[in-house]
C-alpha cells in the first residue's frame, strides 16, 4: 500500500515539462541577448571591430541630467548644489565584444556640494545591483541617480586603461 497517491492525468503530466521547457528557453534567450543593448542604445555585436569611442553617446543628456567627465564638476541649472565625478571605483560590466550570462556592474564615486560649501561623498552603481550597491540616493534635499556610464568596456581593456576616459550621465532633481 502506498502512502502517497498521485492522480495526474496525462495532460497534467505533459503540461509540467512543457512549462519548464518554455521557462528554460526564455531564460536562455535573455542570457544570450543580455549584453546586446544598454540604455536603449544598440551595442556592437560580438566580434565586431569597434573602438571604445563608438560606445559614447551621440546625443546630449536629457533635460534633468548632467554629463560629467572624470574629475569634472558641474552645477545643474537652477539647483543649489554642484556634482563632481571623482572616479570609477570598479567596472565589471559585460564587455561590448563578449556574450555574458551576467550584466555586471560599475561603481563611481561622486562629491555633492551645497551652496554653503558642505560636501558629501557618495558612491553610486549601475548594472546588476547586488548587496549594498545602489543607483540612487538623496543628498541635500536632491535625488541623485547614476543613469549611464561611458564607455562600455571591451575584453582587451582594464579599469586602468579606461581611467580618464569615463563619462557619466547623472539625473539630479529635487527630492520628493
For 13-25, how does the pLDDT look when each residue is reduced to its tens digit (9 = 90+)?
A: 444 455 444 444 4
- Which residues partner with 117 through β-bridges? none
Of 62, 60, 130, nearest to 102 by C-alpha is 130
Q: 156 falls in which pLDDT band (50, 70, 90)?
A: confident
Question: Looking at per-residue confidence, does 95 or 50 come out higher?
Answer: 95
Helix (H) or strand (E) holding 138: strand 136-139
For the segment 64-80, the average pLDDT, to the nearest whole number, is 93
**What are the cell numbers at 45?**
555585436
Residue pointed to by grid coordinates 546625443: 59
In contact, 113 and 81? CB cutoff 8 Å: yes
Distance of alpha carbon 57 from alpha carbon 105, whole angstroms = 19
pLDDT in tens, 48-62: 444 556 667 777 777
Please report which confidence band the pLDDT of residue 28 belongs to, taking 50, 70 and 90 as the band edges: very low
The answer to whether the peptide bond before residue 151 is cis (omega within 30 degrees of 0) is yes
pLDDT value at position 107? 96
Rg (CA), the chain: 22
Amino acid 161: pLDDT: 87
Quote the mean pLDDT of the chain: 78
Tell me what pLDDT residue 36 has: 40
> In this predicted model, what pLDDT tens digit does every residue of 77-91 receive, in sequence order?
899 999 999 999 999
Dist CA 143 CA 141 (whole Å)? 7
Q: Give domain limits for the chain.
A: 37-174
pLDDT > 70? residue 29 = no
Structural contact between residues 108 and 124, judged by C-beta atoms closer than 8 angstroms: yes
Amino acid at each position: 500500500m502506498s502512502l502517497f497517491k498521485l492522480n495526474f492525468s496525462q495532460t497534467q503530466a505533459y503540461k509540467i515539462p512543457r512549462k519548464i521547457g518554455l521557462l528554460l528557453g526564455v531564460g536562455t534567450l535573455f542570457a544570450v541577448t543580455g549584453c546586446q543593448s544598454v540604455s536603449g542604445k544598440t551595442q556592437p555585436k560580438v566580434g565586431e571591430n569597434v573602438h571604445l569611442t563608438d560606445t559614447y553617446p551621440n546625443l546630449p543628456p536629457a533635460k534633468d541630467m548632467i554629463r560629467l567627465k572624470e574629475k569634472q564638476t558641474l552645477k545643474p541649472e537652477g539647483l543649489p548644489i554642484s556634482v563632481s565625478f571623482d572616479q570609477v571605483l570598479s567596472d565589471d560590466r559585460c564587455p561590448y565584444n563578449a556574450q555574458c550570462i551576467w550584466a555586471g556592474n560599475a561603481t563611481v564615486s561622486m562629491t555633492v556640494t551645497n551652496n554653503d560649501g558642505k560636501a558629501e561623498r557618495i558612491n553610486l552603481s549601475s548594472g546588476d545591483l547586488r548587496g549594498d550597491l545602489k543607483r540612487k540616493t538623496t543628498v541635500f534635499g536632491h535625488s541623485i541617480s547614476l543613469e549611464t556610464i561611458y564607455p562600455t568596456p571591451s575584453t582587451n581593456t582594464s579599469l586602468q586603461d579606461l581611467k580618464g576616459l569615463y563619462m557619466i550621465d547623472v539625473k539630479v532633481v529635487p527630492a520628493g
